Structure 1
Amino acid sequence: MPVRPEPGRDGKHGAAPRAALDMAAIAALVFLAGATDALMVTHSRDLLAVYMTGNSSKLAHALARADWRAAAPIATVILCFVAATTLAALLGRHCGRWRPAVVLLLVAALLAGAVPLAGEKLPILALLPIAAAMGAINQARGDDPGVTFVTGALVRLGRALAEGSAAKAGAGLLRWLALLAGAAAGALLDARHGPATLLFVAAGAAIGAALAALRVVMRGGAAEAG
């Protein structure tokens, strides 16, 4: 007599809960990036550490003016971001199902390490580990590199609306709302705690790492993900 799969573990029965967990995890990652970006707006308008689009434009402007003194720190931040996202991707490839936990633990350590270096105006020595953390966080999910890049999510939102796909549109909208919520939370915490708000973001990443590890354990250990 054939054995029917348990609801919630195989087939369609488990698809919806897994999809909901995945969307919650994505929203949490975008929330952390939004909170960090809020600190950049207040404490580091010249150098950005979360999204590299603005830095790339600033670098091009400095190079066009042959302003090497301005270009050097911007290029350093970008290189740090790329190096960290590469390292996190390599770690993720070797960690299998432990990938989110390991990468988020790295993110938490980098953000916490930036706190002693931070001031009212973030110096480049503080920005480098923050940029590294934001590069790494985008490799937390093997199936969704660049998970915190909301511009792409808004483009997909527009396409989903044009196609009449409510589910896809909702996913894009959720990412944007998560960014807004994270930035608002970061701004509120910054008003009270200043750059030490990075500790709260680091704690959020550490909690995410613990939850990701717990999920792996509950699903049967560190078998390699396909």
Structure 2
Amino acid sequence: MWKWLHTYADPERAYKLSGTLLPWFACLAIAFIGLGTTWGLLFAPMDYQQGDSFRIIYIHVPAASMSMATYMAMASASFVGLVWQIKSADWAAAAIAPIGAIITFIALLTGAAWGKPMWGTWWVWDARLTSELVLLFLYLGVISLYASFEDKVLAARAAGILAIVGVINVPIIKYSVDWWSSLHQPSTIKITEKSTMTNEMIFPLLINMAGFGLMIGAITLVRYRAEILARNGMRPWVRELATAEEAK
């Protein structure tokens, strides 16, 4: 059942597929983020408790949710690379790590900006914020391990092990508000229960979450293609590609 993975283990095929997907991801990301952000910041009703300060959720919540989703994608790619020895999966994990670190930093920064007017402080060491900070350190650790070894196979193995072990932090972030007493408000988007937000507020938020996911996918594809070229610089198809680009 996993034979399809080996189909895209070929660097040339993976490079071409990512090139085909890139414009779709990029265009959809621009459309979704443009629509969701404009709707949320300009047209969504004001919150009766937080006023207009609540509008930062249209950046903070997508960033925070995608920081976890991106980590799971990185860990999944690392798992595939370790178990099936597929190098292109390791390259994908290496491409994802810096993007995840940036999106996690944005989540922490916007969370601090939201916390100041709501809680009266930029930072508290509660479970949700601390575990999100740990997530940033995990991303930075993976990035550091990739850069610390000249042997890229060994680097991918070390970084992959850390990424997989770090998965334990994701459910801690997700359920920390339920498990421990926290200043952070509970989840406003519920699958099994009615959401605490009105449709006029939640629809642009969901659109922006999808847009952030597409944006991360687009940037990952750009970095992934660069990783493929960097790791296969002496392959004939890469040299032919470089020659064709020079001819233009």
**Normalising by structure 2, what TM-score?**
0.36
Looking at CA atoms only, which structure, 1 or 2, has the larger radius of gyration? 2
**Normalising by structure 1, what TM-score?**
0.39
